């Protein structure tokens, strides 16, 4: 739910520089969205499995555990994407992305949000507007974009890697609870399962009487 709420706030531009994340970190946003879906799905399936009967619980707990491992994989993916960008010359990656991957509209979004013009200077792949032109006194976006991205990515992978042991503990706890909550179905002795439980064995009553020849060998 935390991932989903943060994602929705970002997409609704609910804080400063949300548009920078939307333009520069689409891969992380997609991974966060998938992680939110898997985690919420796991929570729903696990809750239903807890309240279902034994026969249904077994299958649902298998699905629940599978979703938990998918959540673990997605959290690791988010952390890896963030760490990989900061570890391998982030400034060069930002320059290549600015010059070859971003469109003019995306340049405009970053320049307006960061209050800069061009990448290194106003003459370096800038999208000109009323606030950005070749002779503009605005600085290039390189340093401001780098500082924002570095802080964002470091916080992202730190949070994700800190969540990993907590999530593993939750997964192992779920497996333990599943194993501990198994209830055996009632079983009956072999000599009782094939017989009618309403049948009651009673001794035969002999009605034979010396004064009544017709009652000979009568039993009830």
Cα pseudo-dihedral 189, 190, 194, 199, rounded to 10: -40
* Residue ranges per structural domain of the chain: 2-183
74-100 pLDDT, tens digit per residue, is 999 999 999 998 887 899 999 999 999
Model confidence at 188, pLDDT cuts 50, 70, 90, reads: very low
Output the pLDDT for position 196: 52
CB 74 within 8 A of CB 35: yes
130-179 pLDDT, tens digit per residue, is 888 888 888 999 999 999 999 999 999 999 999 999 999 988 887 787 66
Output the pLDDT for position 204: 52
| Mean pLDDT of all residues in 190-203 | 52
Task: Answer whether 0.85 is exceeded by the pTM.
Answer: no
Q: How many residues does the chain have?
A: 220
Closest CA to 166 of 44, 2, 31: 2
pLDDT at residue 109 is higher than 50: yes
CB 164 within 8 A of CB 152: no
26-60 pLDDT, tens digit per residue, is 999 999 999 999 999 998 888 887 776 666 677 78
| Mean pLDDT of all residues in 109-121 | 92
């Amino acid at each position: 739910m935390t991932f989903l709420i943060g994602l929705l706030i970002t997409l609704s531009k609910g804080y400063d520089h949300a548009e920078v994340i939307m333009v520069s970190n689409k891969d992380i946003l997609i991974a966060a969205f998938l992680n939110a879906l898997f985690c919420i799905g796991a929570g729903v399936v696990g809750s239903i499995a807890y309240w279902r009967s034994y026969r249904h619980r077994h299958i649902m707990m298998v699905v629940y555990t599978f979703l938990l491992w998918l959540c673990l994989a997605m959290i690791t993916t988010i952390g890896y994407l963030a760490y990989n960008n900061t570890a391998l010359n982030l400034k060069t990656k930002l320059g290549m992305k600015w010059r070859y991957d971003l469109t003019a509209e995306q340049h405009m979004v970053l320049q307006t949000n960061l209050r800069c013009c061009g990448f290194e200077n106003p003459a370096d792949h800038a999208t000109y507007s009323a606030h950005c032109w070749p002779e503009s006194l605005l600085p290039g976006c390189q340093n401001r974009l780098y500082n924002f991205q570095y802080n964002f990515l470091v916080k992202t992978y730190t949070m994700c890697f800190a969540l990993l042991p907590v999530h593993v503990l939750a997964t192992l706890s779920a497996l333990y609870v599943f194993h501990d909550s198994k209830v055996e179905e009632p079983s009956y002795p072999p000599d009782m399962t094939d017989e009618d439980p309403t049948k009651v064995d009673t001794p035969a009553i002999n009605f034979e009487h010396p004064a009544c020849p017709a009652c000979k060998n009568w039993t009830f």
